[in-house]
């Protein structure tokens, strides 16, 4: 398995850090941006339609939890199952930028900020 490296381009539209994902590191997933089969992801589609890198660039929803695309029922289920707080991820990206966020997540070895 490849080690986790600092890769801001591997921050997913929803704030997950794909560079820390075991499937990506094993070569079994291209990550969010490179996964052309991920048409089902409303967050990814929205971000691409707006030309953004992540939801952190959206000014329509200062709190990503107010966005129906970001905080749908499926996202909430996955958040619980995988102990993932994507809202915290997006807010952190807004606070420090993708580069610093990628460095922090690499240092911590995390794909997501854990739920509290």
Tell me whether residue 114 is in a domain.
no
Rounded distance, CA 26 to CA 29, Å?
A: 8
Tell me whether residue 65 is in a domain.
yes
Tell me whether residue 60 is in a domain.
yes
Instruction: Report, as an integer, the average pLDDT of 6-19.
Output: 95
> Residue 84 burial by CB count (10 A; 0-12/13-18/19+): exposed, middle or buried?
buried
Tell me whether residue 116 is in a domain.
no
Q: How does DSSP assign 27-92, residue by residue?
A: TS---TTT-TTGGG-HHHHHHHHHT-SSGGG-SS-SSGGG-TTTS-HHHHHHHHHTTB-HHHHHHH
Residue 114 has pLDDT above 90, yes or no: yes
Q: What is the pLDDT of residue 23?
A: 92
Tell me whether residue 113 is in a domain.
no
| Banded pLDDT at 106 (limits 50, 70, 90) | very high
Q: What is the pLDDT of residue 33?
A: 82
Q: How many domains does the chain have?
A: 1
Domain encompassing residue 23: 8-108
Tell me whether residue 29 is in a domain.
yes
pTM of this prediction? 0.91
Tell me whether residue 1 is in a domain.
no
pLDDT in tens, 70-99: 988 878 887 888 899 999 999 999 999 999
pLDDT in tens, 14-55: 999 999 999 999 999 898 888 888 888 899 999 999 999 999
Tell me whether residue 25 is in a domain.
yes
Angle between helix axes 98-108 and 86-96 (nearest 10 degrees) is 130
């Amino acid at each position: 398995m490849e080690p986790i490296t600092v890769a801001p381009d591997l921050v997913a539209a929803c704030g997950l850090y794909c560079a820390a994902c075991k499937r990506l590191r094993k070569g079994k997933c291209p990550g969010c941006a490179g996964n052309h089969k991920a048409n089902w992801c409303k967050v990814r589609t929205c971000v691409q339609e707006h030309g953004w890198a992540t939801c952190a660039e959206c000014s329509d929803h200062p709190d990503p939890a107010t966005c129906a695309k970001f905080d749908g029922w499926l996202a909430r289920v996955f958040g619980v199952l995988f102990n993932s707080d994507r809202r915290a991820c997006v807010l952190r990206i807004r606070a420090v930028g993708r580069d610093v966020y990628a460095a922090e997540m690499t240092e911590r070895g995390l794909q997501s900020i854990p739920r509290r």
